[in-house]
Structure 1
Amino acid sequence: MRQEIINNIAEICQKQGIDKAIISPGSRNAPLTLAFARHLKIQAYSISDERTAAFIAMGMAQAQRNPVALICTSGSASLNYAPAVAEAYFQEIPLVVITADRPPEWIDQWDGQTIRQENIYGKHVKKSYNVAVDLSHADAQWQTYRMINEAVVESMNGIKGPVHINIPFREPFYPEKSEKWEYDQNVKIIKSTVGEKKLAEKQICELQADIKEKQKLAFVLGQEDYNQLFLEDLDKVSQKHNIPIFADIISNGHELKNAIHLPDNICMKMLKESKSEEIPDLIISFGKSIISKNLKLFLRKNHIEQWHVREYHAFIADPFQALIKQIEEGPTPFLKHINKSSSSEFLKLWKDKNATAETKTNEFLRAQSFSEFSALQELIKNLPKDSHLHLANSLSVRYANFIGLKSQKGIKVWANRGTSGIDGSTSTALGHAMAHPDQNHFLITGDVAFFYDRNAFWHKYPYSNLKIILLNNQGGSIFRMIKGPNQQAELEEFFETEQKLDAKLLCSEFGIAHFSAHNSESFAFIKDKFIQYPHAAVIEIKTDSKINQKIFENFKNQLIS
C-alpha cells in the first residue's frame, strides 16, 4: 500500500478537526503511526498499553468535545480497546478507532497477530468501516477517502460516539529513505451541516395543554456535558415556575438555585414513607443516567409520569419505568414551552428536605473519628475554584454523591457512568489533564480501581495538574456495604478481593509525590499541602474496611431516623 494514501487518511482526519492521536506501538500499524506522528497539525502520543491508551483518548475527546484518533496494530491490541470503546459509546464521546489488520487471505490461517477484526466492536460503535487491501486503483482511493470523511463526521453527528476503521496492510510497512513524504493539501473533504430539531406549533400546544393539568412539576438532570446556556435557562425557568431540580453529583447541576443536590440522602427515608404532597405529578428529565439509587427507586415506586427531552435518541430509555413521552428537541429550546408553575409550597417542601439532609450529613461527618468518608468530605470542601473533579466507580462516586457539591466554585464533575466499570478511571482523568494542562484535575478513586489502572502513568508525557485522592481500605469494600455479599463466608477473598498494596512505591516509580494519612492528626497535617502541591500527587487515605462499613451503616440509619 502506498504511504501517500495513508498520509492522506491522516490529512482528512486533521481537516475534519482531529488534532490529537493516541498511538500504541506495533509494526502492522507503522504506516498509520508515521502518517499521524509526522503530521505537523496533529499532536501524537505513544501509549504502550492499549487499554490505557483508549481511556486516555476518551478522556481527551471528552475534555475537548472533539474526536481523537486511536491507532493500534493487528491482533489482540484491538480487543484491548473494547472497554473504553463501550464506555465512549454509552457516554456518547466521539472516538475514531483505527486498527491495522492482516490481509484477508491470512485470516484463520494460523498467522501471527491475526484475529477476526472486521466489525470487532459490534453494536458498541456507531458504525464500522473496512478499507480495501488493494488501493492501487483510483476508485479504491476515492472510496477510502470517502469512508474516512464519513467516519469522522459520523462520530460527531447527532448522537456522538466511537466509530471503527479497519485497515489491512501487506508488507512492506516502512517507506524507503528516498521516498518523498507529503500530504495532499487538496484531498477531498466532505463536510456535514445538521440543523436543530424543533417541535411544530401543534406539538408545542399539545405539550402545554398536558402540563397545565399538573400541579407539581420537577426536573431531573441526568449525566450530560450540558452547555452553560442550557443551565442558565434551566435556572431561570425553575425559579420562575417554582420547579425543583433533582441534580445528583454527576449531573453538574449543583449550583442551580433550586437544585435538590442530595436526592439520594432524602429519598432513602422517603422509600419507607412519603406523603402525596411530596410526590411530583410529572418529572421532565434531561441527559442520561443518574447515580442516586434511592431517587430511582422513589420514582419507580410512585409511578410518576416522565417526559424525557433529548434532541436525538438512539433507543428508548425508561429507567424509572414511567416514561410516557420522548420529546425530540434540544433541551434549551424546549424550556421555552414551559408555561405552568408548580406550587411554591411544593418547591419549599423539597428545598427544606434538601437543607435538612445537608445538615444531617454535615453533623454526622463532623462527629466521626477519622474515616475515609469524613476525610473525603473535608477534601471535597476544600477543592480549588474551577477544578475538575473525576469520580471513579464503585464506592468513590457514591460517597461523593452522599456528600454532595453545593458551593459556587465552578467545579465540574466527570465519571465513567456509561458502563460504570472500575477500569480506566485514572486513565480517563489523565486524558482530561493532558488535554487541558492549565486546569486543576482531582480524581477520587478506590484502591482496586487505582491499582487496576496503574499503567495510566506508564508513558513519558507530563500530567503535573492531576492530583489523586486514593481511598485505600485494602479491597473492594463496597461489597462489605451491600447486603448479600457481606453475609457470605467468601466476602474477603472473592468479593472484596483483599489486597495489601501501598501506593508509595508506585508513586516513587512514576515520579509522583506521595502523601499518606492513617489518622486525624496525619490527615490534618498533610491535606492542605496536598491540595496546594504544584505537581502531580497522591494522597493515600488508609482506613479499615470494617470501621468504614460501620460508619456508613450509622450514616444511613441517621438519614432514615
Structure 2
Amino acid sequence: MGNRQTLTNYVRRMTGALLKTGVEAAVISPGSRSTPLAYAFASTQQLKTYMQVDERSAGYFALGMAKASGKPVVLLCTSGTAASNYHPAITEAYYARIPLIVITADRPHELREVGAPQAIDQIRMYGEHVKYSVDFPLPEENSAVDDFVERQLNRAIAVAMTAPLGPVHINVPFREPLLIDLEGEAPVMTFVQRMAAKDQLDEGTAAQLIEILSSTDKGMIIAGELPVHLDKKAFWQFAKALNWPVLCDPLSNFRAEVPADCAELCIDQYDALLKSASFCDRVNPDVVIRFGAQPVSKPLSLYLKNIRPQVYVAVDESPEFRDSIGIVTHHVQSTPEAVFECCVEQPMTAYTKKWTEANKIAKMISSAHKGYIGDEGCFANQLFEGLPNGVDLVSGSSMPIRDVDTFFRKTDKDIAIFSNRGTNGIDGVISTALGIQAARKRPAWLVIGDLSFLHDVNGLLATRFHETDLTIVVMNNDGGGIFSYLPQADMPHHFEELFGTPTGLTFAQIAQMYGAQYDMVRTSEEFEGVLQREKETPLRIIEVFTDRPASVAAHRKMWSNIAERLDAHD
C-alpha cells in the first residue's frame, strides 16, 4: 500500500475514533504540517469544522465552544510556535475544567532537535496544565499502531471528560508528503465502549452489563491485582452466581481465604494450562470480564491477544484503563463493588467444567513438583505450602512472581500477596516489604532473587530504626534467572556477560552486619528443616542456592507433563 493511502487510513482512523467518543466540532488553525488531519476533518460530514488563523484566539474560541456545550472540542494546529500559542487557553481550560482535545502536528522524529524549521520540543509541552499527554507514532500499516491510536484517543477523551474535566494533549508527527485522498468518510469504530458508572451503576449501565453477562454459557472472569481490602465475600457471591471460571492472579488475593463453595471456580493453574496450545483451542470464551490490572501471566496475555474475545469488559475506576494487549471492548469506569451488584444467576456449564477439571490435573502435578536439585520451583513450592496462617507474602518482580503464579495454590489461609508490578522493576523490593510489614503489623515473608536483593540491600537500614518482623528468602541463582526462560538464552555468545550477570556474591556477612538470623540452604531437606525452625530475630535471611539451567529444565518438564495429561484426559 502506498504512503498516501497509509496516511489517509491513519488520519481517517483518528477522525473516526474522535467521532466515536463524542467529538462533534474541531477548531483548526491553518498550517502545513497539520495538513493530513485538517483535510480529514474538513472532509468528514459528521464533524463541524471552524477556522481561526490566530492560534491564541483559536484556543479561546474552542474553549468557549466546549464551555457552552459541555462536549469535548478538538483544537488542531501545525508544529512549532503555533502550538505554543495555545498555551494560555489550555491553562484556562485546565483551571476552569473545560474538555479541550488539543492536537499538535509535529515533525518526524529525525527532524527533532537538529535545527529543522518549525521544529520545537512538543512532547508534554503543556506540562501540568493538561490532564493527559501522548506522543503518537508515525503513520504506518500496522494493526498494533491502529489499535494504539484508536485506544489512546478513546482514553484521552475519557480522561478529559472525567471529573475534574480538563484539556488533554495529543502530539502527532507526520512525514512528507502530507496529502491524503479526500474521498471517503471516517470508518465506523468498533473499539472500546465506555460505560461510566463510578461508585454505583446507573440503570442503563447495569442493564447493559447484565445483558452481556447473561448472553453466553462460555464466560470467564479474570482477577488481576486488586486492593488488598477489596470485599472478597461480595466478589465470590458475584462469581458463584455466574458460575464462570475465575482466573485468579496471585496479586488479586482471591487465591487466599477462598470460600469452600467457590473453591472449584478458583482457577489458580491457568498459567501452566495455557502453555498447552491444544487446551487453549478448547476453552475459547465468548465473554470475559476483568477486574484490576492485566495479570502477571504471559501465556494468559498471549492467549487473550490471539483469541480476541468478542466481548471483553474491563472494570477500572480510572478513565486511563489498562489494556496493554489492545482487546478491551467495554470499559466500565467503576469500582469493582458496584459491578458485583449485577448478580446474574446461571448453572455451571460444560465450559466451566472444562476449566475446573483441567485445573485439578495441573494442581495435582504442580503440588507434587519436588526433588529436582537446584530448582527454584521446588523451593517455592515448599515455601508457599509451609507459610503459616496470618502472614503477608511479598514477591520480587522478576522470576519470584512467576513462581508465585505457578506454585501458590488456593488456600483457606489468610495470606495476602504483594509485589511491585506497576512497572515490574527489581529495585526497591526490600524497602517495599519492610513498608508493608510496618503498615500491616503482622509477620511478612519476602521471596526475592539475588540481583534484586543486591539492588536494595541498603533498604535493610530501616530495620535499625523500626520494629521489624520480616523473613527474607533469597533465591540465589547467581544472576538474572528470568532471562534463562527467554529467547536470549538460546544464543550462548555473551549470554552470561549481558543477561546472566553472575556476581559470585553470597549474603551471610550482610545478615551478620544487620544482626539477622541466617540460614544457608542447598537441598529440599535442608529447606524443610529451616522452615520448621523458630524465628529468633526480627530480621531473618534464608539464602537458598539454586541452579538456573536446572530450574529451567524442571519447570519445562512440569509444564510438559501437564500438557500431556490434559491431552490424555480430553
TM-score range, shorter chain: 0.5 to 0.7
| Cα drift, residue 321 of structure 1 | 2.8
Pairing 1:448–2:454 present? no
Pairing 1:396–2:403 present? no
- Separation of aligned partners in 1, 2:305 and 2:205: 27
1:539 to 527, 542, 545: 542
What are the superposed Cα offsets for residues 92-131 of structure 1, whole Å, 9 maximum, x if unpaired?
xxxxxxxxxxxxxxxxxxxxxxxxxxx99x78x989xxxx
| Cα drift, residue 228 of structure 1 | 4.2
Asked if structure 2 preserves the Cα contact closer than 8 Å seen for 1:248 and 1:290, the reply is: yes
- Please state whether the residue corresponding to 2:498 is helix, strand or coil: helix
- Residue identity matched to 1:249: P
Asked if structure 1 preserves the Cα contact closer than 8 Å seen for 2:516 and 2:540, the reply is: yes
Pairing 1:484–2:488 present? yes
Asked if structure 2 preserves the Cα contact closer than 8 Å seen for 1:507 and 1:514, the reply is: yes
Asked if structure 1 preserves the Cα contact closer than 8 Å seen for 2:385 and 2:408, the reply is: no
Hey, what does 1:30 align to over in structure 2? none
Hey, what does 1:293 align to over in structure 2? 298
- Separation of aligned partners in 1, 2:484 and 2:507: 22
Pairing 1:244–2:262 present? no
- Separation of aligned partners in 2, 1:470 and 1:538: 7
- Please state whether the residue corresponding to 1:224 is helix, strand or coil: coil
- Separation of aligned partners in 2, 1:261 and 1:126: 38
- Please state whether the residue corresponding to 2:294 is helix, strand or coil: coil
- Separation of aligned partners in 2, 1:221 and 1:456: 31
Pairing 1:221–2:226 present? no
- Separation of aligned partners in 2, 1:309 and 1:443: 30
Asked if structure 2 preserves the Cα contact closer than 8 Å seen for 1:268 and 1:559, the reply is: no
- Residue identity matched to 2:367: N
Report 1:10-409 matches (<5 A): 197-229=199-231, 231-255=232-256, 256=258, 257=262, 258-269=265-276, 271-276=277-282, 278-304=283-309, 305-313=311-319, 315-339=320-344, 341=346, 343-363=348-368, 365-369=369-373, 371-409=375-413
User: TM-score of the superposition, structure 1-length normalised?
Assistant: 0.62
- Separation of aligned partners in 1, 2:437 and 2:214: 46
Report 1:427-438 matches (<5 A): 427-436=431-440, 438=441
After superposition, the Cα gap between the structure-2 partners of 1:541 and 1:282, relative to the gap in structure 1 and judged at 3 Å, is same
Hey, what does 1:100 align to over in structure 2? none
1:469 to 473, 494, 507: 473
After superposition, the Cα gap between the structure-2 partners of 1:480 and 1:206, relative to the gap in structure 1 and judged at 3 Å, is closer
What are the superposed Cα offsets for residues 110-167 of structure 1, whole Å, 9 maximum, x if unpaired?
xxxxxxxxx99x78x989xxxxxxxxxxxxxxxxxxxxxxxxxxxxx999xxxxxxxx
- Separation of aligned partners in 2, 1:210 and 1:464: 48
Asked if structure 2 preserves the Cα contact closer than 8 Å seen for 1:223 and 1:251, the reply is: yes
Asked if structure 2 preserves the Cα contact closer than 8 Å seen for 1:211 and 1:340, the reply is: no
- Separation of aligned partners in 2, 1:218 and 1:534: 45
Asked if structure 2 preserves the Cα contact closer than 8 Å seen for 1:480 and 1:491, the reply is: no
Asked if structure 2 preserves the Cα contact closer than 8 Å seen for 1:216 and 1:342, the reply is: no
- Residue identity matched to 1:241: L
Pairing 1:558–2:564 present? no
| Cα drift, residue 240 of structure 1 | 2.1
- Separation of aligned partners in 1, 2:524 and 2:224: 36
- Separation of aligned partners in 2, 1:441 and 1:158: 38
- Residue identity matched to 1:403: F
- Please state whether the residue corresponding to 2:312 is helix, strand or coil: strand
Asked if structure 2 preserves the Cα contact closer than 8 Å seen for 1:515 and 1:540, the reply is: yes
- Separation of aligned partners in 1, 2:446 and 2:205: 44
Asked if structure 2 preserves the Cα contact closer than 8 Å seen for 1:198 and 1:329, the reply is: yes
Asked if structure 1 preserves the Cα contact closer than 8 Å seen for 2:478 and 2:502, the reply is: yes
| Cα drift, residue 367 of structure 1 | 4.4
- Separation of aligned partners in 2, 1:547 and 1:241: 42
Asked if structure 2 preserves the Cα contact closer than 8 Å seen for 1:216 and 1:346, the reply is: yes
Asked if structure 2 preserves the Cα contact closer than 8 Å seen for 1:217 and 1:283, the reply is: yes
- Residue identity matched to 1:540: E
- Residue identity matched to 2:291: F
Deviates more, 1:465-474 or 1:402-411: 402-411
- Separation of aligned partners in 1, 2:234 and 2:492: 50
- Separation of aligned partners in 2, 1:366 and 1:475: 23
Which structure has the higher relative contact order (CA within 8 Å, separation 6+)? 1
| Cα drift, residue 352 of structure 1 | 1.0
- Residue identity matched to 2:398: S
What are the superposed Cα offsets for residues 45-65 of structure 1, whole Å, 9 maximum, x if unpaired?
xxxxxxxxxxxxxxxxxxxxx
User: TM-score of the superposition, structure 2-length normalised?
Assistant: 0.61
After superposition, the Cα gap between the structure-2 partners of 1:211 and 1:545, relative to the gap in structure 1 and judged at 3 Å, is closer
| Cα drift, residue 196 of structure 1 | 5.4
- Residue identity matched to 2:275: M
- Please state whether the residue corresponding to 1:326 is helix, strand or coil: strand
Larger-gyration structure (1/2): 2
How many positions carry a matched residue from both structures?
Answer: 370
- Residue identity matched to 1:415: S
Hey, what does 1:142 align to over in structure 2? none
- Separation of aligned partners in 2, 1:481 and 1:375: 18
2:497 to 468, 493, 497: 493
**Residue ranges of structure 1 left out of the alignment (5+ in a row):** 1-118, 128-156, 160-194
Asked if structure 2 preserves the Cα contact closer than 8 Å seen for 1:433 and 1:463, the reply is: no
Hey, what does 2:74 align to over in structure 1? none
- Separation of aligned partners in 1, 2:438 and 2:508: 23
